[in-house]
Structure 1
Amino acid sequence: MRLASYLFLFALLVSTADAAAAEQASRGATPDWPPAPAASPGWDAPRFEKYPAKPSPEGSRAMPRFNGSNWTPETKARIRKAVKSGYNFAGHYTIVEVGCGTECKSAWVVDGRSGAIRAFPLGGEGTTSLKLVYNVKSRLIKAARLNSEKVLCTQQDFDWDGKDFNNIVGMDHTDKGIFFRCDVLDSGVSMEWPSDEAKISPGDELSFETFPARVFQNGPVKLPQFNGRDRGAREYRTRITDKMKSGANFAGHYTIIEIGCGTGYLCVYFADTNSGKVWDFPLGGMEYSNLELKYSLDSRLIKARWIDGLNGDQADCAESAAEWDGRNFVSFGKTHRAVADETYCSFDPPQNE
Structure 2
Amino acid sequence: MTASLWLPDEDGGAVHTLGAPADWTPPPGPPRSRVAYAAAHVVADPWGDNVPGAPAAIDWDTTLAFRRHLWSHGFGVADAMDTAQRGMGLDWAATTELIRRSAAEARSVGGRIAVGVGTDQGDAPSTLTGIADAYLEQLAVAEDAGATVIVMASRALAAAARGPDDYLEVYRRVLGQTSGRVILHWLGEMFDPALRGYWGHTDLEAATATFLDLVTEHAARVDGVKVSLLDAGHEVALRRALPAGVRLYTGDDFHYPELIRGDDEGHSDALLGIFAAIAPVASRALAALDRDDPATYDALLAPTVPLARQVFSAPTRFYKTGIAFLAWVAGLQPAFVMVGGLQSGRGVLHLARTFRLADAAGLLPDPDLAAARMRALLDTAGLGR
TM-score of the superposed pair, with normalisation by structure 1: 0.27
Q: Which of the two has higher C-alpha Rg?
A: 1
Specify which structure has the bigger relative contact order, considering alpha-carbon pairs within 8 angstroms and separated by 6 or more residues: 2
More helix by share: 2
More strand by share: 1
